[in-house]
Structure 1
Amino acid sequence: MTVPKTLPHPRDRILRAAADLLANGGREAVSTRAVSASAGVQAQTIYRQFGDMAGLLDEVARQGYAAYLADKQANLADGDPVDQLRRGWDLHVAFGLANPALYRLLHTDPRQGEGAAVMGEAYGILVRLVTRAAEAGRLRMDVAAAAAMIHAAGIGVTVTLLSAAATGVLSEYVGLSENTREAVLASIVTDGPPEAEEVRRTARGARHAVALKALLEEGDMDVSRFTAGERLLLTEWLTRLAAPATGNH
């Protein structure tokens, strides 16, 4: 007697259909009608499983990002914080080139709710890496500003490379990612401990202010002896002291 093959659960068929449609046709190809036809389900099944199409695309993004986020988490292991930022950049660009449709969904035409959770997690990891650089006295500016700069530049480079790949001219952009990465890092971090003879005292002090501010924000220093007003004032002072670090070498 032949045992009939069991079809995958409707949820799994829907996810596979949506992921395939996204990869082959982009965001606009993932319509209710197309997913229903490809997965062999009624439209009501999609809404029952995912709430709406945005919920479906959220789950497609979450599953597509799973391995990438695991690699990002592994990059949080102990090590030189600037080297970790380099590896994080490379992981970001490599993921985009390997998953162009999913990357564009999340970064070039975002819609409310789609991929917000996974993007937030990835950005949180970036902020943690930048904070480590600040705590090591390697950051020239505020953590938030540095993270935003890396994030924006990384997306810009990846989108540029995706466009080049789509038009068959990717070979003309060899070295773009690495060169941009190093230019961005040079503007926000030091190469190592400040050289006493070559770095002005104001620049050194600013980097220490950045480091202290990062430690305070992470809760690694006991400031319970200060009043709320004193803590606010301390944060303001450190922010002002950190400002000269931007652009100084």
Structure 2
Amino acid sequence: MVVTHRTDVRARIIDVAVRLLRDHGPAALTTRAVAEAAGVQPPAIYRLFGDKDGLLEAVAEQTMAGYVAAKAALAEAAGDVDPLDDLHAGWRMQIDFAIANPALFRLFSDPDRVRRSPAARAGRQILAARVHRVAETGRLHTSEQRAVDLIQAAAIGTIQTLLAAHPDARDPTLPDTMYAAVLRQLLTAAPDTPEPGGPEAHAVALRAATTHLGMLTDAERHVLTEWLDRIIDNR
């Protein structure tokens, strides 16, 4: 019973902190304000989270976990959707969420926090799965890891550029323009051209399928992926 009460109080405090951060920004996120809005005494925050940084960690993790769950649902619903359309949907979702929730974006985009966050790792895995689907089509001419890195870097840069501008001065075409620029670095041809081309694209596609090659031993699969990586990285 005590454990349940403690869990309920902790959840209520986090929900209040998320709302304060989203509606009023980081300056509103004081222990006194959070405690008052949650209907608890300030010492309760220290007992449950250690300090304000501990509360921020919990806020970041819960927010990111909710966002990642939404991304996972979107990815699962993609089904037979073209992999590039699915990738674009994930890109737009990340941009739109960050622009609508700038304080939350700044909180959970902190590099130190991202490295420690299970939700952040799960989000990267969802992006990696989307990229893997593109690789299987033969349209990717760079390694999957490099593609994931480029997409993440471009998305964060786009978000920061938009947030740095006054809302009335933001370029609404920037996200899609940047996405198209990234695709030109990743794909063998224009996004609407499904025909693969070049040895790198074939190598990427074959590497993406190596886990399904049950006729190979682990040692053979390891050698094959090494050879394919050499072809892929020969840029």
TM class by shorter chain equals: 0.7 to 0.9
Q: Which residue of 1 aligns with 2:104?
A: 102
Alpha-carbon spacing, 1:121–1:114, altered in 2? closer, same or farther (3 Å)? same
Q: Which residue of 2 aligns with 1:178?
A: 176
Deviation at 1:143, TM superposition (A): 0.2
Q: Which residue of 2 aligns with 1:6?
A: none
Whole-Å separation in 1 of the counterparts to 2:116 and 2:27: 16
What pairs up with 1:153-232 in 2 under 5 angstroms? 153-164=154-165, 167-171=166-170, 173-189=171-187, 190=189, 191=191, 192-194=193-195, 203=198, 205-216=199-210, 219-222=211-214, 224-227=216-219, 230-232=220-222
State whether structure 2 residue 229 is matched by structure 1 residue 239: yes
Query: Which of 27-36 and 92-101 deviates more?
Result: 27-36
Q: Which amino acid aligns with 2:225?
A: T
Alpha-carbon spacing, 1:41–1:86, altered in 2? closer, same or farther (3 Å)? same
> Normalising to structure 2: TM-score of the pair?
0.80
Whole-Å separation in 2 of the counterparts to 1:168 and 1:129: 31
Q: SS in structure 1 opposite 2:195?
A: coil
Contact 1:82 1:133 in 2 (8 A): yes
What pairs up with 1:1-249 in 2 under 5 angstroms? 10-27=9-26, 29-65=28-64, 68-76=67-75, 77-78=78-79, 79-107=81-109, 109-112=110-113, 116-164=117-165, 167-171=166-170, 173-189=171-187, 190=189, 191=191, 192-194=193-195, 203=198, 205-216=199-210, 219-222=211-214, 224-227=216-219, 230-244=220-234
| Structure 1: runs of 5 or more not aligned | 1-8
Deviation at 1:58, TM superposition (A): 3.8
Alpha-carbon spacing, 1:75–1:241, altered in 2? closer, same or farther (3 Å)? same
Alpha-carbon spacing, 1:17–1:71, altered in 2? closer, same or farther (3 Å)? closer
Alpha-carbon spacing, 1:86–1:62, altered in 2? closer, same or farther (3 Å)? same
Deviation at 1:67, TM superposition (A): 5.3
Q: SS in structure 1 opposite 2:213?
A: coil
Tell me the percent identity: 40
Whole-Å separation in 2 of the counterparts to 1:146 and 1:83: 16
Q: SS in structure 2 opposite 1:75?
A: helix
Whole-Å separation in 1 of the counterparts to 2:64 and 2:146: 25
Q: Which amino acid aligns with 1:243?
A: D
Question: Higher helix fraction: Structure 1 or Structure 2?
Answer: 2
Contact 1:61 1:118 in 2 (8 A): no
Whole-Å separation in 2 of the counterparts to 1:183 and 1:72: 23
| Structure 2: runs of 5 or more not aligned | 1-7
Contact 1:57 1:115 in 2 (8 A): no
Deviation at 1:68, TM superposition (A): 3.4
Decide which structure has the larger Cα Rg and report it. 1
